[in-house]
Amino acid sequence: MSRGAVVVQQARRADLPELAAVAAATFPLACPPSSTPENIAAFIAENLSEERFGDYLGDPERIVLVARDGEAIAGYAMLIRGVPDDDDVQRAVELRPAIELSKIYVLPERHGAGAAAALMAEALQLATTQGFRSVWLGVNQKNERAQRFYRKHGFAVNGTKTFRLGAGVENDYVMVRPV
């Protein structure tokens, strides 16, 4: 099946069912092998449901983007304005104001088709036009594929933090790039 060019736009309420399905399909792929299925399922239920995405769309501090190739959502990204109170992140993100690239996921069958790069380009453009001086993100220390992608887009490791995954705790790098 041939696909058209990737188009990135802000998510709408009509996208919620498909967005939640894409999130549930892609999140486990970014988890390290040590993550239990129970912890992954708990995270998805708590953070990636239609209801939660509905909350995210209504939150003025968040921007949810979808990448479409044709009619289908190939991937999504979420930006969150600011830096949380987490001491590790506070130390790692020095250039302020900052915006977090909280999520950027693409369906595996769409990898290599430009959706992730298009989402990243739009996220960085939004950060620039909205006056942020840096973009930061957390990435699992064992997710080398994602780290390569982020380095390719100008991010560098500037610290570490923990990430609660259900009842478990994972170790992340904090990566930052100026805009």
Q: Which domains does the chain have, with CATH numbers?
A: 6-178 (3.40.630.30)
Taking only the tens place, the pLDDT of each residue in 19-70 is 999 999 999 999 998 899 999 999 999 999 999 999 999 999 999 999 999 8
For residues 111 and 150, give the distance between their C-alpha atoms in angstroms, rounded to a whole number: 15
- Does residue 77 sit in helix, strand or coil? strand
116 is written with which tokens?
């992730």
pTM for the full model?
0.94
- 132-153 pLDDT, tens digit per residue, is 999 999 999 999 999 999 999 9
Average pLDDT over residues 4-22: 96
Q: Which residue has the higher pLDDT, 168 or 110?
A: 110
163: exposed, middle or buried (C-beta count within 10 Å: 0-12, 13-18, 19+)?
A: middle
What's the confidence (pLDDT) of residue 79?
Answer: 99
Helix and strand tally (H, E) in the chain? 6, 7
Q: What is the pLDDT of residue 70?
A: 87
Confidence check: pLDDT of 113 > 60: yes
Residue 145 region by backbone torsions, left for phi larger than 0, else alpha for psi between -120 and 50, else beta: alpha
Element (H, E) at 56: helix 50-58
